[in-house]
Amino acid sequence: MPEIVTVEDLVEVYSDGTKAVNGISFSVNDGEFFGFLGPNGAGKSTTIKVLTTLLKKTSGKVVIAGNDVDKRAEAIRKVIGVQSQDTVIDQDLTGEENMMLQGHLHGMGGEALKARVKELLSLVGLSDVAGRRAGHYSGGMKKRLDLASALVHSPKLLFLDEPTTGLDPQSRAAIWEYLSKLNKEQGITIFLTTQYMEEADKLCQRLFIIDKGQVVASGTPESLKREVGADSITMTLEDGAAASETKDRAKQALGGIPGVGNIIDSDGGLTVYAKNAGLIIPDIVRTFDSNKIRLTSVSFASPTLDDVFLQHTGRRIRPEELEAKSQTFQRFGAARRPARQ
């Protein structure tokens, strides 16, 4: 498959000296559903800005659909569609007018544009409200309109920066369905960033995880999860005066247990990886007991992309996502057991 995006040694240094992107390289194949993940401030949005011609890169090479981003920005703009993180639509215009304007800016017009707008509005389920002002739409409808307006000119490559952030589960599922359809039926290459690991897992064929401006992992969701190699066991310890000292002792104790892999200290507690969590947990509990370390909870799950992310960045994707994460646990049928003391 030919490459539609080629990025080599991309560096972006802001005028204040901040290195937002520090030498990343990757490529996206034509027709691929590509996921670009990273914690906040990792350099995702900066990379997208460079790729979509909004920001001049400091150094490196970026080629989109055969066009160098420095020399042929105009040609790139003709073949890409972009949905930014914040929903951007004109609230004073109707849904249809928003779409028409976007088409006009792409040099389209006449009956062809009208037909295209009609088709897209029906694809995202907004035909009934096409004549109403977009300012009156719900959050989910606005997102859908924004997405549809990025598609007016039939782009070959679609950049989506967190397209479902802030949406309710139902709207999110609807967007996932459109995106799958676009990718599978129309062969549009999709470049997606998201903070929802479930979304990346469900949609993307290949993932790149970046952190602090650099690529830290890449592969298919399956291979990345396989690389984690084991179930994750997450435990929280009793808070108290000597919390950090307790944590250090716990880490030491865990290190002595055979079969325990990587130990990660995150805001969600201590996480370790082990081939067979069910057999290791009693060992952990016994060891902690004899070392007088008090556990407040312990749970385990088969690896998810959250674990991949945690392993490579040392962080959960976002603290406020922890709640959603515990629901994921339940969905995967993992047990949440109280610690034996």
Partner 1 sequence: MSIVSDTYHLFIRALKKLVRNPILLFFSLLQPIIFLVLFTQLFSRFVETGLFPAGVTYLEYATPGILLQNGFSSALQSGTSIVDELNSGMLEKMLVTPVNRSAILLGRLVTDAFRVGVQSSIILILAYILGFNVATGAGGIVLAIIIVAFFGLAWSGISLAIGLRTRSAETVFGIGGVLTFPLLFMSTALVPVKAMPTWMADVSSFNPISFAVNAVRDLSLPSAFSGATIASAFVVIGAIAIVTLGATLYLFRKVVK
For residue 259, count other CB atoms closer than 10 A to its CB.
14
Residue 5 contacts partner 1 per CB under 8 A? no
CB of 80 or CB of 216, closer to partner 1? 80
Reading the block at residue 68, the tokens are 């160098």
The DSSP secondary structure of 189-249, one letter per residue, reads EEEEE-S-HHHHHHH-SEEEEEETTEEEEEE-HHHHHHHH-SEEEEEEE--STTHHHHHHH
| Rounded Cα gap, residues 170 and 125, in angstroms | 13
Residue 320 contacts partner 1 per CB under 8 A? no
Q: What minimum distance in Å lies between the beta carbon of 146 and partner 1?
A: 9
Q: What minimum distance in Å lies between the beta carbon of 97 and partner 1?
A: 7
Binding mask 41-70 for partner 1 (x = CB under 8 A): -----------xxx-x--------------
Binding mask 127-156 for partner 1 (x = CB under 8 A): ------x-------------------x---
Q: What minimum distance in Å lies between the beta carbon of 153 and partner 1?
A: 8
Alpha helices in the chain (DSSP H): 44-51, 73-79, 95-105, 110-123, 139-149, 169-186, 197-203, 221-228, 243-255, 277-290, 305-313, 322-331
State whether residue 334 is helix, strand or coil: coil
State whether residue 318 is helix, strand or coil: coil
Q: What minimum distance in Å lies between the beta carbon of 190 and partner 1?
A: 16
Footprint (CB under 8 A) of partner 1, residues 82-111? 82, 84, 86, 88, 90, 92-93, 97, 101-102, 104-107, 109
Binding mask 187-226 for partner 1 (x = CB under 8 A): ----------------------------------------
State whether residue 331 is helix, strand or coil: helix
Q: Which residues bind partner 1 (CB under 8 A)?
A: 52-54, 56, 74, 77-78, 80, 82, 84, 86, 88, 90, 92-93, 97, 101-102, 104-107, 109, 133, 153
